């Protein structure tokens, strides 16, 4: 199967891979400011652009706004200014103390300010929380922002199949398409294939932005060797998935990605991302903190796994569905 060089997102055509920027400025989960900083993420940004990757995913909560500020600063640099096609996706967090349409409008204004733009390509609702504001009220307010020209396309994130259908229906009644459901999706987390989300998204024409597509680094294989391999940093130190027992469990997966990768002169991470891109309607957004990670991840596009390889990877990761 030959992969497309571009895919449609909202009304724009982009490369079938993006970059997640949660780690840019975030000191709570990641270790921004200790092991890496703005210089390294700037290099990741520039390297991605040079490789033709134009989608950058941020959120108002990442680094308490710092991720959006960093993306905003990077977009002002000459290398970014020379490109007309940068596609910025950010997210709104429906926290309990936001209960009026005015607060939604203010949140959009604050993201625009931090990003230093007058228009956001894709604005997503980070979680399907309702609290004191109903989904129809929130979606209607965001639809107004699309009509007012401050937002290009609307998306949701972490919505179940039924929540996705409802949101799609509400927006359709307002004449606005639902572009995206951003979901956790990787070879080690394939739940959207079995819980109806992927089927619903395809039926409704909603793109899946696959978050944590490298299982937060596990699928790179770098954690496999406990003595010579990398050690998980930040909040992942506490995560059972990075402990020896799980590393042993995922070893056959990493080994298969490695051996298939060798045939294509690609890394396990590139194979894992290429497999996701081969799933119709899916765009992975791997996080990258450095130029080397960004370059490696960008090497997931421009080539294709063979059908038999896609099936083999499918078979060995069925337990994670």
Ligand X SMILES: NC(=O)c1ccc[n+]([C@@H]2O[C@H](COP(=O)([O-])OP(=O)(O)OC[C@H]3O[C@@H](n4cnc5c(N)ncnc54)[C@H](OP(=O)(O)O)[C@@H]3O)[C@@H](O)[C@H]2O)c1
Give the distance from CA 140 to its chain's centroid: 25
State the minimum distance, in angstroms, from the CB of residue 276 to ligand X.
Answer: 10
State whether residue 158 is helix, strand or coil. coil
The answer to whether 62 is a known catalytic residue is yes
**C-beta closer to ligand X: residue 172 or 230:** 230
**C-beta closer to ligand X: residue 25 or 286:** 286
Q: Would you give the end-to-end CA distance of the chain in angstroms?
A: 22
Kindly state whether residue 17 participates in binding ligand X, applying the rule CB under 6 A. Answer: no
Kindly state whether residue 63 participates in binding ligand X, applying the rule CB under 6 A. Answer: no
User: Cα–Cα distances in Å, from 298 out to 45, 56, 84, 270?
Assistant: 11, 13, 19, 8
**C-beta closer to ligand X: residue 96 or 148:** 96
User: Cα–Cα distances in Å, from 17 out to 57, 93, 207, 244?
Assistant: 11, 24, 12, 31
**C-beta closer to ligand X: residue 278 or 285:** 285
Q: In whole angstroms, what is the distance from residue 63 CA to residue 67 CA?
A: 6
Alpha helix locations (H) across 86-222?
A: 101-115, 135-147, 161-173, 191-194, 197-204
Residue among 149, 151, 207, 140 nearest 175 (CA): 140
**C-beta closer to ligand X: residue 19 or 171:** 19
User: Cα–Cα distances in Å, from 112 out to 218, 261, 263?
Assistant: 34, 41, 45
Q: In whole angstroms, what is the distance from residue 213 CA to residue 80 CA?
A: 25
State the minimum distance, in angstroms, from the CB of residue 228 to ligand X.
Answer: 15
Kindly state whether residue 285 participates in binding ligand X, applying the rule CB under 6 A. Answer: yes
Q: In whole angstroms, what is the distance from residue 11 CA to residue 109 CA?
A: 22
Q: Which of 9, 14, 23, 300 binds ligand X (CB under 6 A)?
A: 23
| Nearest residue to ligand X, scored by beta-carbon proximity | 20
Selecting among 36, 62, 189, 223, the annotated active-site residue is: 62
Largest CA distance in the chain: 57
* Residues in 168-227 at the binding interface with ligand X, rule: CB under 6 A: 182, 211-217, 220, 222
Write the interaction track for ligand X spanning residues 64-103; mark x where CB under 6 A is met and - where it is not: ----------------------------------------
State the minimum distance, in angstroms, from the CB of residue 273 to ligand X.
Answer: 9
Q: Which of 155, 253, 286, 298 binds ligand X (CB under 6 A)?
A: 286
Q: Which of 53, 138, 269, 301 binds ligand X (CB under 6 A)?
A: 269
Q: Annotated active-site positions, please?
A: 62
User: Binding residues for ligand X, per CB under 6 A?
Assistant: 20-23, 57, 126, 157-158, 182, 211-217, 220, 222, 233, 269, 285-289, 293, 296-297
């Amino acid at each position: 199967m030959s992969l497309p060089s571009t895919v449609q997102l909202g009304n724009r055509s982009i490369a079938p891979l993006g970059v997640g920027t949660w780690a840019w400025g975030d000191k709570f989960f990641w270790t921004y400011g200790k092991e890496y900083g703005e210089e390294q993420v700037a290099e990741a940004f520039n390297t991605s652009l040079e490789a033709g990757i134009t989608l950058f995913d941020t959120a108002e909560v990442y680094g308490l706004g710092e991720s959006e500020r960093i993306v905003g600063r990077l977009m002002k640099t000459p290398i970014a200014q020379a490109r007309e096609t940068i596609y910025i996706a950010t997210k709104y967090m429906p926290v309990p103390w936001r209960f009026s349409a005015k607060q939604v409008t203010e949140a959009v204004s604050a993201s625009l300010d931090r990003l230093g733009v007058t228009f956001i390509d894709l604005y997503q609702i980070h979680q399907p929380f309702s609290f004191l504001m109903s989904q129809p009220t929130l979606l209607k307010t965001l639809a107004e922002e699309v009509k007012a020209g401050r937002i290009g396309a609307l998306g949701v994130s972490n919505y179940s199949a039924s929540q996705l259908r409802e949101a799609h229906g509400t927006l359709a009644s307002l004449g606005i398409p639902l572009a995206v459901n951003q979901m956790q999706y990787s070879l080690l987390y394939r739940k959207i294939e079995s819980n109806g989300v992927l089927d619903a998204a395809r039926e409704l024409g909603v793109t899946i932005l696959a978050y944590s597509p490298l299982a937060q680094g596990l699928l790179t294989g770098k954690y496999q060797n406990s003595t010579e391999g990398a050690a998980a940093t930040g909040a992942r130190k506490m995560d059972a998935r990075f402990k020896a027992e799980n590393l042993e469990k995922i070893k056959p997966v990493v080994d298969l990605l490695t051996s298939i990768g060798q045939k294509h002169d690609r890394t396990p991470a590139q194979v894992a991302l290429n497999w996701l891109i081969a799933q119709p309607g899916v765009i992975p957004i791997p996080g990258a903190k450095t130029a080397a990670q960004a370059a490696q991840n960008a090497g997931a596009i421009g080539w294709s796994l063979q059908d038999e390889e896609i099936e083999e990877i499918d078979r060995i990761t069925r337990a994670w569905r």
